[in-house]
Amino acid sequence: MRHPPRQGVEARRVAPPYRRGRVLAPAILAFTFWATMAGTTAPTPLYPLYEHAFGFGPVTVTVIFAVYAFGVVAGLLLFGRLSDEIGRRPVLMVAALLAIVAAAAFLVTGDVTVMLAARVVSGLSAALVTGAATVALAEAMPPDGRIRPATVALFANMGGLAGGTVLAGILADLAPAPLRTPWALIGALALLGLAGVAFVPETAPNRSRPSLRLQRPHVPAEIRGDFVRSAMAAGAGFAVLGVLTAVTGVFLSGVLRLPSATLTGAVVFTAFMCTAAGQLLNRVVRPGRALVLACGGLVAGSGLIALAMAAASLPALLAGAAVNGLATGMALGYGVTVITTRAAPDHRGASVSTYFVILYSMLAVPAVGVGVMIRLTGLRPAGEIFSAVVAVLALGVLLSLLLGSRRASRHA
């Protein structure tokens, strides 16, 4: 029996989301994702300028950076399910609005307190946009298209993190009002994203009332070993990314006597873009080798960063940032793949949130620890000690993998 074609609201409800706004919607979603994430790393090349303007030291810089990561963790725990409940578009609009608020706060800031509040708001915006935009892109793009939604989401995310540092650095070096102009542009970009998302069709299939409750961490028993090992490896890499983001400007201006905001942005840009490239490498590396190679890369990257501290070498710092980024991306991609392919479907969302809570905690806590060490021992010794700790953690994961492989071969 043939049913008459659906019309009006009912037809729109059942139409595949990617057929509506097939060209513009993904571009708008990706741009909003990019612009929001760009605002989260824009302060990186500006920290030395803030130090001079407000008279604080490296410890304060690392705390300002760390509260951003804590804002992300709080957002993931409180609002991880929100886009499933109220829809992707409202969450994306709130994320863009929070990015605008954070940029406006930095635009007018005159003290550390306002900066800390702005960083918390920025962290919340990142937490909201990451999940909502990633899922919205998957729903708005054709599943059989030449470009995968996951690839677009990856480069919007990491491209924003990388682009924010370079954009702010160039403007700080070349434009008037170096502590104001970057934020005016970042705020304008987020405002443009907010305006665009307002016209993007909603892609969430079902919506309900929001239930704001703290999400409990969850690690499925069937993947616990691989989950923990990949989280520790990727967390070690995130710790390096956090420290690079927080203190690269201090190292370049204070040790190398290269007070260039653009150069600071270039170092962090290298780290984040290599993190994106590392995730793509997982497509050509056998799953069993991905985490082993990642651990080896983390050890090598730590050695290069320690060399950069000891020899005051910019090339070693750039190489260390690149190698650590590639290794971090491989570990991250391996962990996400394990969760999304081997965990029970009804536990995957909570498991992904738990995974990123661990990573962002590793992004924040070591940065503060390094800030304290800088105060006690100086920047270069603190960097060397931190690099050694990361290398030991990566070696521990690598040893666990090798022992696990031996046990598996014995029982085969």
Residue 13 confidence class, pLDDT cut points 50, 70, 90? very low
Q: Are 41 and 245 in contact (CB under 8 A)?
A: yes
Q: Are 276 and 161 in contact (CB under 8 A)?
A: no
Give the H or E element holding residue 133. Answer: helix 112-140
Max CA distance (Å), the chain: 80
Mean pLDDT of 266-276: 94
Q: Are 194 and 100 in contact (CB under 8 A)?
A: yes
Mean pLDDT of 74-101: 88
pLDDT score recorded for residue 11: 39
Q: What percentage of the chain has pLDDT greater than the value 90?
A: 56
Mean pLDDT of 53-78: 89
318-336 confidence digits (pLDDT tens): 999 999 999 999 999 898 8
Q: Are 129 and 32 in contact (CB under 8 A)?
A: yes
pLDDT score recorded for residue 85: 79
Lowest mean pLDDT among 143-152, 210-219, 266-275, 313-322: 210-219
pLDDT score recorded for residue 242: 92
Can you tell me the distance from the alpha carbon of 190 to that of 125, in angstroms, rounded to the nearest whole number? Answer: 11
pLDDT at 143 over 80: no
pLDDT score recorded for residue 83: 79
What is the distance between the terminal CA atoms of the chain, rounded to a whole angstrom?
Answer: 55
Residue 2 confidence class, pLDDT cut points 50, 70, 90? very low
pLDDT at 383 over 80: yes
Lowest mean pLDDT among 149-153, 188-192, 388-392, 393-397: 149-153
Q: Enumerate residues 6+ apart whose C-beta is below 8 A from 176.
A: none
pLDDT score recorded for residue 349: 66
pLDDT at 12 over 50: no
pLDDT score recorded for residue 3: 45
DSSP sequence for 344-409: -GGGHHHHHHHHHHHHHHHHHHHHHHHHHHHHHH-HHHHHHHHHHHHHHHHHHHHHHHHHHHHHHH
Lowest mean pLDDT among 59-73, 113-127, 197-211: 197-211
pLDDT score recorded for residue 67: 93
Structure tokens at 315: 């090339």
pLDDT at 20 over 50: no
The mean of the pLDDT values for the chain is 87
Domains of the chain listed by start with CATH number: 21-200 (1.20.1250.20), 219-412 (1.20.1250.20)
pLDDT score recorded for residue 317: 96
pTM, 2 dp: 0.85
Can you tell me the distance from the alpha carbon of 101 to that of 39, in angstroms, rounded to the nearest whole number? Answer: 11
Closest CA to 120 of 63, 163, 181: 63
pLDDT at 32 over 60: yes
pLDDT score recorded for residue 147: 78
pLDDT score recorded for residue 409: 58
Q: Are 241 and 324 in contact (CB under 8 A)?
A: yes
